[in-house]
Amino acid sequence: MIEKNHPPVKFGKTGVLLINLGTPDSTNWLDIRKYLREFLSDRRVIEVNPAIWQIILNVFILNFRPSKTAKAYKEIWMKDKNMSPLLYYTKKQSEKILNSISKENIIIDFAMRYGNPSIKSKIHKLHEMGCENLVILPLYPQYAAATTATVCDEVYRTLMKMRWQPSLKIIPHYESDPLYIDALVNSINKKLNEINWKPDLIIASYHGIPKKYFDKGDPYHCYCHKTTRLISEKFSSIKIKTTFQSRFGPQEWLQPYTDKTLENLPKEGVKNVLTICPGFSSDCVETLEEILIQGKESFISVGGENFDMVPCLNDNDDHIILLEHLIRKIFN
Pairwise CA distance, residues 137 & 124, whole Å: 17
DSSP 281: S
Helix axes 178-194, 317-331, angle to 10 degrees: 180
Element (H, E) at 66: helix 62-76
Class of domain 178-309: alpha beta
Q: What is the pLDDT of residues 117-176, one digit of tens each?
A: 999 999 999 999 999 999 999 999 999 999 999 999 999 999 999 999 999 999 999 999
What pLDDT was estimated at residue 236? 86
Using alpha carbons, list the distances in angstroms from residue 215 to 76, 93, 218, 317.
Answer: 34, 35, 7, 38
Going from N- to C-terminal start, the domains of the chain cover 178-309
Pairwise CA distance, residues 332 & 221, whole Å: 31
In 233-312, which ranges are continuous DSSP H helix? 258-264, 296-301
pTM of the model: 0.96
Closest among 45, 27, 213 to 114, alpha carbons compared: 45
Q: Omega of the bond prior to 8 within 30 degrees of 0, cis?
A: no
Closest among 165, 122, 125 to 18, alpha carbons compared: 122
Do 202 and 187 touch, CB atoms closer than 8 A? no
What pLDDT was estimated at residue 2? 54
Phi, psi of 288, deg, nearest 5: -75, -40
Q: What is the pLDDT of residues 168-211, one digit of tens each?
A: 999 999 999 999 999 999 999 999 999 999 999 999 999 999 99
